Chain A
Amino acid sequence: MSGRTPPQAQEKLNFFELASIPTVSLSLPLVLVGDVLAKKYGAASAILSILIGNLILWIIAIAIISMAQKTHLNAIENIKGYLGHFGTAIVALVLILAFMNWYALQINTSLTTLDHFFDFHTSWSKDIYLRLGASLGVLSALFATGGIRLFKNITVICLPLFICFYLYEIIKADYSIIFTEKWRPSFGAVLSTILLLLPGFINFPTIFQHSRSRAHSYLGLTLSILLISIFEISTIWIKLSNPHLWTGFQLVLITIYILMTLACSNLLNIFFASACWQTIVPKFGGAKGYAIIGLLGTLTYTFLQISSPVLFFERLTNCYMASLGAVLLMAHLMRITLQHRPRPFEKTLNLAAWIFGCVVATIYESRGPSENFESLLSGVGASVLFFMSVVFIEETTWAIKTKLRIKA
């Protein structure tokens, strides 16, 4: 990667800084998860499912970080090692579109949440949504010009404040849960917990490439997962869905919380997308590159005001990312296991498995929004099945060839 800054010249982060970045940046989707899951599956089931889901996410993240730890590669460079140049270009392109989509979606989600509390949509003019959203998008681009250092500083300051905010809200919460149902995890709730953060986790090497050491990476990841689990579970008590219960001071706090998480999540989107851009344009990066991505994200938000294509693409991207995650994990596992023979078509087969999963997911998704994650599971299932079939054929063929050669 000619355009890549050498790792030694980059910012080196300790475990707390590594934990702060994903915890703060991924906080936006967490604000409703506990409440929603508790309503659908019951509080006990929601708590257990959140814990199991996050444990699975931790295992996935450990595997993904381990892949890139030695060489300090970012997410895309890591994927290149498994899918080759062509495959990486496709992944980068999908991810760039996905990040632009998420950028717009994050702005929309935060404004909808704020509107839930303040109802400015009906009391102010119709363009207020667009104005606020666009200015928040440009503001994120402005923050991004400060690079990873400014991003780290913001998240390190925000994390203790967020912890205090959650503690304060739990203490103030006038709500107790009666656990009448059994402590039984729900498959749907576990899957929801995983899928909420999986696309972010697959891109973790882009952040963890800045780690001081493997120990700092793992400790940072564990701290982050613990805090995310606590935040998710807390929202069962903090009833964000009922704005009438909130006092003026609490409204100020939640507004600051949402605006900060929005800025940080979009900063994360910008840094993730920047790694993808560097695959296509190696010299892309730095303050100017980050600003360009932020502005493109804002344009996406400004012009994609109709939510159905955005949501369709978001569902599709989730399926693609889940399949990619499955392929990467299996490929990593196979690389460790199958060291007794050369695998010249390894990258091509990995890519084929991923594309097969994507095609299956797209066919399912184009039939309409599926209940119970049908398209996602089909995509992941197809990728895994394809992968296993290929490995089965490869391994058996190698064994027969070797046997015949020995006989001869």
Chain B
Amino acid sequence: MAKHVELPDTNQSVWQLSAIQLSGWTSLPILATSILVLEQNSFYGAILTIIVGNAIAWFIRLAIIMMSYEKRQSTLDIAKVYLGNMGGYFIGAFLLISTLAWFIAQTTAASKTLTHLLLIEENPSIDKFTQISVFVGIVSTFLCMEGVTLLKKLASFVFPFLIAAFIAVIFIIPFKLPEITTAGLSLAGLTLVLITNLGITSDLPTFFRHSKSLHTSIKALTVIQLVSLAIALLGLYLGSIITGAFEINEALVLGTSSEVLRLSLIIFIFLSVICANVANVYSASVGWEVIAPKALLGRKEYLILGLGLTTIFILVSNLFSIEFLLNSSDSSLVNLCIILIIGYMLSKARKSEPSRFEQVGYFTAWFVSTTLNILQFSEILPIHISPIATSLASILIILSLFFLTKRCITKRV
């Protein structure tokens, strides 16, 4: 990794590691997952699903952290170990695309809601949505400039306000328990919880490489998982105000005529989108390090990424749906996570690093599963088969074929 700049800030505490992750996650799309699970399951079934989903996520995350702690590797460094250099370039590109898609999706959603919640009288010829989205984009860029150092300070400062605003919203919103349906306890919606969690999990090494020690990392991971479980469970109560995957029913919020609710929502949405954007840019910076020349690394990379993303966002926000881009980039990260876990377990069992042949196998499995998912999202392949099931099946088949071939070759030799 000759091109990499020296890793700064390698002494982060449990609080700092947890604050960064939780501030970055506690945003509308993540909270909306709880609502989507509730749509597929009974109320108590949804609670069970969320608990089981989070327990599985904790184990997977622990494995991912164990993979990276020794050499303080980022997601991309680990991807290179298992998928080879070529795989690294692909993952780097997908990290950048994923960041762009999330930056646009989250900032657009937050700006739309803030446009309605901020009751400022303006000249009708001025487009308030564009003004607010430019403002949110620029504030995010300001805070991206120092990379993880500023992200740490920002998250540690913002997280208590975020939680306070979230609790205030939960207490004030009108809530009624859903009617008891005939559906019994089931784990319907578990894949949804896992997909959301796995997409984020593959990014963990990039942030946890700044941890003080492995002990700190594990403690932080447990704190994160417990708090996010509580947030996800409380998120079930947001069903009355969250309308789509990313949107808040502003009419209902304004209809309650509660100024505290309006103010809490404004604080919550604004702070969460800023933290999510800054964390996203930091996560994408490892992708940038692979493709950018050495002169554009270091502090400059955060400037370029932040300014570049903001420019693209201003131009394209709210013009067309980026759902396809979001789904595709997310599925690539979920597939990466599955492959890294399988690769790690196999390497541990055989007590050796993956060979060149195995790297080709892992990369092929990732490439094929991601391509199949993309074809599903573009409706060329049937979408009614769950994308994660397609991924798992294709990864297992390809890896089995590769390992069988390898065994045959070794036996012959």
**Cα separation A135 to B135 with both chains bound (whole Å):** 12
Determine which of A142, A287, A288, A302 lies in contact with B134 in the assembled complex, contact meaning CB atoms within 8 Å.
A302
Contact with A along B112-131 (1 / 0, CB 8 A): 00000000000101110111
Give CA–CA (A145, B311) in the complex, Å: 15
Residues from 142 to 169 in A contacting B, C-beta threshold 8 Å: 142, 145
- In contact, A127 and B311 (Cβ under 8 angstroms): no
* B310 in contact (CB, < 8 A): yes
Which residues in window 269-312 of A have CB below 8 A to B?
287-288, 291-292, 295, 298-299, 302-303, 305-306
Q: Is B382 an interface residue (CB 8 A)?
A: no
5 residue pairs bridging A and B, Cβ less than 8 Å apart: A132-B315, A139-B307, A142-B307, A287-B299, A291-B141
Using known A-B contacts A142-B308, A287-B299, A291-B145, determine if residue A134 contacts B134 with beta carbons closer than 8 Å: yes
Known A-B contacts A305-B123, A305-B126; A295 and B142 likewise in contact (beta carbons under 8 Å): yes
Using known A-B contacts A142-B307, A145-B307, determine if residue A134 contacts B130 with beta carbons closer than 8 Å. Answer: yes
- Residue A130 at the B interface, CB < 8 A? yes
The answer to whether the Cβ of B304 comes within 8 Å of any Cβ in the partner chain is yes
Taking chain B's interface residues, is the majority helix, strand, or loop, or is none over half, making it mixed?
A: helix
Expressed in whole angstroms, the minimum distance between the Cβ of B400 and any Cβ of chain A is 47
Interface positions, chain B 285-326, Cβ under 8 Å from A, are 299-300, 303-304, 307-308, 310-311, 314-315
Q: Which 9 A-B pairs have the closest CB atoms?
A: A127-B127, A142-B307, A127-B130, A135-B314, A130-B130, A134-B134, A302-B134, A138-B311, A134-B314
Any A CB within 8 A of the CB of B138: yes
Give the dominant DSSP class at A's interface. Answer: helix
Contact of B129 among A127, A135, A287 (CB under 8 A): A127
Whether, in the assembled complex, A126 has its beta carbon less than 8 Å from a beta carbon of chain B, the answer is yes
Range for the number of chain A residues in contact with chain B: 20 to 34
Interface, chain B (partner A; CB < 8 A): 123, 125-127, 129-131, 134-135, 137-138, 141-142, 145, 299-300, 303-304, 307-308, 310-311, 314-315
Q: Which residue of B lies closest to A306 (CB)?
A: B123
Q: Which residues of A contact B311 (CB under 8 A)?
A: 135, 138-139, 142
Are A138 and B310 neighbours in the complex by a CB distance under 8 Å? yes
Q: Which residues from A are CB-within-8-Å of B129?
A: 127
In the complex, the answer to whether B315 meets A131 with C-beta atoms within 8 Å is yes
A306 to B299, CA, bound (A): 36
Closest chain-B Cβ to A293's Cβ sits at a distance in Å of 12
Least Cβ–Cβ distance between A343 and chain B, in angstroms: 45
- Cβ contact of A299, chosen from B127, B130, B138, B299, cutoff 8 A: B138
Interchain CB contact under 8 A, B131 and A142: no
How many pairs, one residue from A and one from B, have CB atoms within 8 Å of each other in the complex? 71
What's the nearest-Cβ distance from chain A to residue B318, in Å? 9
Q: Tell me whether A287 and B303 are in contact (CB under 8 A).
A: yes
A274 to B304, CA, bound (A): 19
**Closest residue of B by beta carbon distance from A126:** B127
Chain A residues within an 8 Å CB radius of B315:
131-132, 135
A302 touches B307 (CB 8 A): no
Chain B residues with Cβ below 8 Å from A127 are 127, 129-130
Q: In whole Å, how far is B270's beta carbon from the nearest beta carbon of chain A? A: 15
Tell me, in angstroms, the Cα distance from A130 to B131 when the chains sit together. 8
Residues of chain B within 8 A (CB-CB) of A287 are 299-300, 303
Closest to B128 in A: A127
- B137 to chain A minimum Cβ distance, whole angstroms, is 8
